[in-house]
Amino acid sequence: MPGVVSVLPDLENVYAKWEKKGPRGHNSSDYGSQVNGKEIDRKGADGKQKWRNKYGDNLQLGRHRGTREKRVNTIPVDTVRNSTIAMFKTTPTVVPEDFMKTRPLMGKCSILLPNSQKDLSAPNNLGMRNILDVSHEMRGHSPLIQRFCYLAYSLSRKTTHKYTDVSMAVLTSQRVIDAVQEAVSKEKQNVVSDLKKRARKILKGMKASVSNYLIRFTGWFLFQFLGRILNTVQVHKSQMQITKTASERCIPIIYLPLHKSHLDYILVTWILWHYEIRIPFVAAGDNLRISLFGRLMSGLGAYFIRRKLDMEVGKKDKIYRSVLHSYMEELLRAGEAMEFFIEGSRSRSGKALPPKGGLMSVVLDSLNAGVIEDAYIVPISISYEVLLEGNFNNEQMGVPKVKETFWGALKGIWRVINSNFGSVRVDFAQPFSLKEFVQICQSASQARRDSDVSPPTTPVASTETLHRISESNAAIYGTSVVEEEQRQLVKRLGEHVVHTCVRTTALMCTNLLSFLLLTKYRKGVDLEILKTDYKWLIEEVMARKRDVGFSSTSKISDVLHYALSHLGSNHVQKRTTEGVVMIYPNLQLPDIFELSYNSNQVISVFYLESILVNAVIFLSDLSLINLNSLNSRDVGLVSRDEILQVAEQLCHLLKYEFIPASPLMKLEEVLADTMDQLVTMEILSVEENEQFSPSFNTYDRNWAKRISASLSWADEEDPDDIYREEQLLKVNIHRSDCIDKLVFFHRILAPFFESYLVAASHISTSLEEEMSEEDFIQSLHNCAKERVEKGVASYSESAALDTLRNALKSFEYLKIVDTCFAGNLRIIGLYDDFNVKDKLTQYITLLESLRE
C-alpha cells in the first residue's frame, strides 16, 4: 500500500537520531536494523570512537538513564474484584467481639502524668475474676485435687519471697543515734544505755515478722472463711496484670487503700498472694496488737504504730519517731513494698476522709534523700455490699468507741461467721511514678503556688483556690518546722491519691438503692417506679465513666430484690397496699446513718453538678417548694462568673467532706467544664445577647473568642484586652424533666448544708465566750439531735457527729472560730476579728437559702 511505504523513511530518520545519542545496548530494537542497518551501524561506530578518544579504553560507557521512574505494576482489576468478593463471602461484617461488653478499666492515670499513663498498661478486655472461685485453675486435674481444690491451689502459689530483717540497720541508723543523744542532753537523768534499750523495745513491738508458711496457711484459711461469709471477691484482671508488671521491676511499690473495714488489712495481701506478687509491709494501729491476732497480723506483714505518736501534747517523742522513720526508710531501701491507709482510720460516714500525710512524708523524704530512685504509688479502693463491722450508728450518735479486746474480737468473728455480707470488689488503680508526680508539682506555675493564701472573708469574695497553711502533720521525725513546699507536696500527693481512690470505687447495689431512697424517695416509692429509676441511675453512673459492682446487664428486679435483702427490714420496709408494692426507707435515728453510709459513696459521681446547682439556687433566689408554679419572668438571670465564684466557696466550705478535683488540676476549670455539661443537659439555658444575630449562637461566639485570643498580639496589660463579655444563664423551668434534675442535684448535698447551718447557728448563739471544744461539740450534737426529735430538721442524717465535727473544722479554716490549747485541753472561741460576726451571718444566709 503506497500510504505505508511513504511513512517508513521518516521512521528510519527518527531511529537514526536516537542512535546518535549513544551506543546501542543489547536490548535495542531490531526494527531499525531491518530498515537501514548499515547506516545505523556506521553512525554508532563513529560515536564509540569519539568516546574512546576522549575517555580512553578503561572507562565503561555510561548507559542512558530515563528521567521518569519505572511504573509500578498494578494489580489487575479482576484480581482485586475477585479478592474483595471472596473476603465478603468468608469474613463476617460483624464479629461476636463487637457485641461483647467489657468492664470499664477504673483508676487510669491522670493525663497530667503522661509518662506513668503510658508506662504500665494492659488491654481492657480481660474482664473480672472472682478469686474465691479457683475451679478454672484446677480444671483438668485429678478428681482428688478437684475435691481439695483450695488446698491444692494454695500449695501451688509461689511463696518463696525473702523479706529483709532491717532491725540492725534501724538501731544503728544515724537518725536513731541522734535522737538518743538529744534525749540525753535534754534530760540528764537518762542514761544512753537505757534509751538504746527503749529504742530496741519500741522496734521489737513495732516490726513485722513475715512468714511464708503463715502466708500460705492464711491463704488457704481465707478461702474457707471468706467463702462462708462472702458471695464473691471481685478483681479486674487487667488491673492485676498491670500491678504484677510493676512488682517485677526493682522499684518499691506503695499500696494506698481507702480504709472501710478491718478486713482491709488482709484482703489486699490475700489478693496479691493470689497473683504471686510480693506482699507489702502493712501499717496497722497498735490497738490491733492483741494476743493471737497481733502475732498473726505481724506474720502477714503488719507493723504496729501508736495512734498518737507523742504521749504528751506538745512534746515530741523523738526516739519513737526516729525508730518509725528509720524502719520505714530501711524497708524502702531494701526494695520492700509498703501499704498504709492514707486516711489514717476507718470512715464512719462512707465518704473518704481527708488524707493524713505522716507516713507518706517518710516515702517522700526517702526519695528526696536518694534512698530510693523512685516508687510506684498504687491507690486502691475496696467496695463492700455490707460491712463486716455492721455499722457505725452508735459512734454517729456520740456513743464512745469500745476498745478492741481479744474476747470482743472472738465474739465479732462468731457473729460474722453466721452472717452473709454479699460481695466485695477491690480495684487497683494504675500505678504512677512518685518521681514524676514530684517533678510535675515542682514545675507548677507560680500563680498556683501563690493561691495558697488565707481563705476569703465572704461566701462570694475571691475566686482563687484557697489553702490554709496549717500546722504540719507531715513530719514524722525532725523539727516542727517543715519546708512549706514539702508540706504542700505531701498534701497534694495525699489529695491526689484519695481523689483517685474515690474515682476508682465501684458502686455496689446497696449503695445505689440507698442513694435513690434518700435523694428522691424519702416518703416511699412504688416498686415499679423504683425499678425504672434504678436503671436510670446505673446509666447515669456509667455515663460519667464510673463502674458498678455488679453486671449492668443483670435483670433490674433481681438486683433490687438482692439489694433489699442485704439492707434488711430495719432500714428499708416493703408494704403492699391494694396490690401495689411500696418501698419505704427508715428515716429515724440512728438507723438512718446506715442508709446514709451507703448513699454517701455515690455522691462523688454527682458532686460537682450538685455544687453548681446549689450555687445557681442561691444566686437565683429560687424556692424549690413552688418551683413548678413559677413562670419564666420569676426566674432571674445569673452571671456565669458569679455561679463559679459561689461554687468554689461551697467547695471550700465542704473541703473536709469531699475533694472536688485532683490538685494537679485547677478547680475553676473543672467547675467550668461541669457548667457546660449542665447547659448541655438543658438544666441551664444561655441567654443570647441581643446585639448578636440569633444564628450566631453561644458556641460560635466562644469559638470565635478562643480563636481571637490565640491570635491576639495585644499586651497582657492592655486595658482593651481585659474586657470580656458576661455570659448570663437561666434555670430552665419550661420542662418538667429539667426541674426534676435540678431538685435531684440539690438534694444530694442538702443534708450536709443543713448540718453546716446548724453548726453556724450554734456558733452564733452559743459561742459568745471561750469554752472546751469537746463541751461545745457535745452541745452542738445535742442541738442537732433535738431538732430531729422535734421534727424541725428536714434531714435526720444532718445530726451525724462526724459531719458536725467537719463543719466546726471548716469554720476554723474560714477563720470564723479559733482553737488553742490550755494544757491538754483544747479551747474554742470566735476568731479575733472585728467583722467575724458579719462573715458568720453571710454564711448563715447562704446556707439558709439552700434549705427546701
What is residue 446's predicted lDDT score, i.e. its pLDDT?
A: 52
Taking residues 114-120, report their average pLDDT: 89
pLDDT at residue 5, as a whole number: 45
The stretch 323-336 carries a mean pLDDT of: 95
Strands 525-526 and 302-305: unpaired
pLDDT value for 267? 94
DSSP one-letter code for 120: S
Reported as a pLDDT band with limits 50, 70 and 90, residue 483 is: confident
Q: What is the pLDDT of residues 705-725, one digit of tens each?
A: 444 444 444 444 444 444 456
Residue 110 confidence (pLDDT): 87
**Residue 507 has what DSSP assignment?**
B
Mean pLDDT is lowest, of 37-46, 497-506, 694-703, 735-744, for: 694-703
Given a cut of 50, is residue 473 above it in pLDDT?
Answer: no
Q: What is the phi/psi pair of residue 369, to 5°?
A: -85, -5
Q: Which fold has domain 509-600?
A: Arc Repressor Mutant, subunit A (1.10.10)
Give the pLDDT score at 322: 93
User: Residue 7 has what pLDDT?
Assistant: 43
Instruction: Tell whether the model's pLDDT for residue 546 goes beyond 80.
Output: yes
Tell me how long the chain is.
Answer: 852
pLDDT of residue 730: 86
- Predicted confidence at residue 628, as pLDDT, reads 64
Residue spans per domain, the chain: 2-55, 116-454+485-495, 509-600, 616-683+731-852
Encode pLDDT of 184-242 as tens digits: 887 766 678 888 899 999 999 999 999 999 999 999 999 999 999 999 999 999 999 99
Is the pLDDT at 65 greater than 50, yes or no?
A: no
Q: What is the per-residue pLDDT for 251?
A: 94
Q: What is the mean pLDDT of the chain?
A: 82
pLDDT of residue 137: 78
Q: pLDDT grade, residue 146 (50/70/90)?
A: confident
Share of residues in the chain with pLDDT > 70 (%): 76
- C-alpha dist (Å) from residue 431 to 109, 116, 303, 363, 380: 7, 7, 23, 15, 10
pLDDT tens digit sequence for 1-58: 444 444 444 555 655 555 555 544 444 444 444 445 555 455 556 655 665 665 555 4
Question: Which pLDDT does position 448 carry in this prediction?
Answer: 55
Are 348 and 392 in contact by the 8 Å Cβ rule? The answer is yes
* Average pLDDT, integer, range 464-488: 51
| Terminal-residue alpha carbon distance, the chain | 110
3-state DSSP assignment of residue 134 = coil
pLDDT tens digits, 124-138: 777 899 999 988 877
The grid coordinates of residue 680 equal 448541655
The torsion region of residue 301 among left (phi > 0), alpha (psi -120 to 50) and beta comes to left
Q: Which residue has the cell 419505704?
A: 584
Edge-to-edge strand list for the sheet holding 825-830: 771-772, 825-830, 817-822
Q: Is the dihedral of CA 363, 367, 369, 370 positive or negative?
A: positive
Highest mean pLDDT among 437-446, 516-525, 634-643: 516-525
Question: In whole angstroms, what is the distance from residue 249 CA to residue 390 CA?
Answer: 40
| pTM greater than 0.85 | no
Cα(391)–Cα(797) distance, integer angstroms: 14
If you average pLDDT over residues 301-323, what whole number do you get? 84
Which pLDDT score is estimated for 29?
43
pLDDT of residue 769 exceeding 50:
yes
> Poorest-confidence range of 125-139, 694-708, 786-800?
694-708
626, HSE (Cβ side, Cα atoms, 13 Å)? 6
In this prediction, residue 285 has a pLDDT band, given cuts at 50, 70 and 90, of confident
Alpha carbons 729 and 733: distance in angstroms, whole number: 12
Instruction: Say what the pLDDT of residue 27 is.
Output: 44
CB distance 803 to 785 below 8 Å: no
